[in-house]
Amino acid sequence: MTAAGSARRPGRAGDPRYPPIADHGLIGDLRSVALVDTGGTIGWYCCPRFDAPSVFASILDADRGGSFELAADVPARTKQFYFPDTNVLITRFFAADGVGEIQDFMPVVAGSAEDGRHRLIRRVVCVRGALPFRARVAPRFDYGRQSHDLSMRDGRAVFESPSLALSLSASTPIETDGPDAWSEFKLAEGECAVFALDKLGDGVEPRSCPIAEAEEEFAATVAYWRRWLSASRYRGRWREMVHRSALTLKLLTYAPTGGIVAAATTSIPEHPGGERNWDYRYVWIRDSAFCVYALLRLGFSEEAAAFMNFLSEHVSRDGGGPSGPLQIMYGIDGRTELPEVELSHFEGYQGSAPVRTGNGAVHQLQLDIYGALIDSVYLYDKMCQPISSDHWEEIHTLVDWVCDNWDQPDEGIWETRGGRKDFVYSRLMCWVAIERAMRMAGHRGLPADTPRWQRARDAIYRQIMRRGWSPRLQAFVQHFDDDVLDASILMMPLAKFVSPTDPKWLSTLDALGRTLVSDSLVYRYDPLASPDGLRGQDGTFSICSFWYVEALTRAGRLDEARLAFEKMLTYANHLGLYAEEIGQTGEQLGNFPQAFTHLALISAAFNLDRALG
């Protein structure tokens, strides 16, 4: 057995072994994803699904995480782009003697005869002159905790660990070096080479990947993504950014169940060196519900229907646990237990420990999820097709529970770990849950306890207006009977709780602009004024920045909204992707890419387009 890992050097901010978070592109097959940096290295890949233990994780530990390096073997400038209207990633190398490119993609086989095959293909092409290339494949299984055997079989390198086996086939000779495989080769103009990494087992036979087959797989993958994107109805000003966001949301979808993960990674820090490092490879009800809204806006109904089915299997009709009929998140397969574990042997991105798997927030009480979910069901019923009688019974169960439980403190949308509070946003979304259900019942003539629902809805409204308003700040606040602002309040006019031109709301918008907005970027809240139980700083939250654009739009401040939106676009990476947060100097922070950010971009672009005419 070969040993996993190597000598360890402590990470630090600016460590050249860790490319900036923004220097990555994403590929995937609707079951898992891989991150490819601008130098051609895959530094994150979990097989065979999003939440499986990593095979490559050098983004979390440069020495022990493992990687798949592929690059020109001479000094070269690099540029990255997506093959138009697809999730096929191209990394180009510009050297003194030629130009080459790597075409990275994962064939989408969900629902086909090869449903069990998990394949990552890397095509290397010399497009001008001649270039030498090098490849090194260094898997480190189970987050670098399992060692593996490496053997050569029929020209393929086979990596076998106790939990997973992978096969590497290539059109160039492969050599072995301890636990790793490598290859060096030179290509002349018009020549190409292929590397394919396949999961072994589960009835899928190993096979090589000749150049001709790789070309066919490339064409099929391009066709799949273009066919999917052709359903989009968006024809507005920011089509390229909106469609890239839609393609990213689709990549974050787990096809077997319809669940949508919050992000592709775990433990990418919200602040380098801090402890705000979380595992986002799970299905948050809130995030997924907002994704459904964004995709429905663009005309993608199949994803909404798949998520509705996911929900149907997991809504508890007997009242559920402490958080009610719903948990705030589930595994991509619907599992309810996601124990949080620290991987102490990983140093973390730029030394940002701890690295975590699982998520301890799974059993938090976050009342806002009911509003986000029922709002998405309402939109599905309105824009796609009427929900079934069984779905309505599930909604009825949820609303009844909300009517009984809305008036209690919770952990809130930001999953604070500093104790429960009476968050205004949580009350707002409880109001949304009841109000949208009443709309559906009225429109469809569905059975409902309307008098009871109405009493609860109106009580929430009056409570927010009485206790969620600060006379001193002249603004709606984070939680009752306090004077702390929170960007989640930007959802008030978006959720149609308050008119976007109501004097109280306009005063709130101005207060948020003075306190939490910095050059169009919006902070969630001030941790010093409202301790959240965690150490370290927080960057600006990109979903809040897009909410701010939408709030300005609805208030009729279109010039401000458009400028803020255009500024936000400059903070995207070179491919149009966003992490969760933006740092002090414009760097991307947090798990990457983040579904929350991309769905908010779609919504802001859609509504700003409509307002501009």
Q: Point out the residues that are catalytic.
A: 41
Distance CA 284, CA 121 (A): 30
Query: E strands, 29-66, where?
Result: 33-37, 42-46, 54-56
Distance CA 571, CA 581 (A): 10
Whether the bond between 593 and the residue before it is cis, its omega within 30 degrees of 0, is yes
Query: E strands, 229-279, where?
Result: 253-254, 259-260
For 301, phi then psi, to 5°, come to -95, -25
> Which amino acid is it at 566?
E
SS (H, E, C) 337-397: CCCCEECCCCCCHHHCCCCEECCHHHHCCCCHHHHHHHHHHHHHHHHCCCCCHHHHHHHHH
CB 367 within 8 A of CB 425: no
Find residue 156's DSSP bridge partners. Answer: 153
Percent composition of the chain: helix, strand, coil (DSSP 3-state, to 5): 35, 25, 45
Whether the bond between 354 and the residue before it is cis, its omega within 30 degrees of 0, is yes
Name which of 29, 204, 197, 32 is nearest 116 in CA terms.
204
Name which of 152, 254, 162 is nearest 206 in CA terms.
152
Buried b (16+ CB within 10 A) or exposed e, 89-101: bbbbbbbeebbbb
Find residue 260's DSSP bridge partners. Answer: 253
Structure tokens at 150: 């490496």
Distance CA 95, CA 10 (A): 32
Q: What is the DSSP annotation of 565-604?
A: HHHHHHTS-TTS---SEE-TTS-EESSSSBHHHHHHHHHH
Buried b (16+ CB within 10 A) or exposed e, 50-74: bbbbbbbbbbbbbbbbbbbbbbbee
Q: Which residues does 357 contact at the CB level (< 8 Å), separation at least 6?
A: 53, 143, 266, 279, 340, 341, 343
Structure tokens at 349: 């991105």
**CB-count exposure of residue 111 (10 Å: 0-12, 13-18, 19+):** exposed
**CB-count exposure of residue 274 (10 Å: 0-12, 13-18, 19+):** middle
Find residue 517's DSSP bridge partners. Answer: 522
CB 476 within 8 A of CB 441: no
Residues making up the chain, counted from first to last: 613
Name which of 88, 83, 91 is nearest 29 in CA terms.
88
Name which of 5, 3, 2 is nearest 346 in CA terms.
5
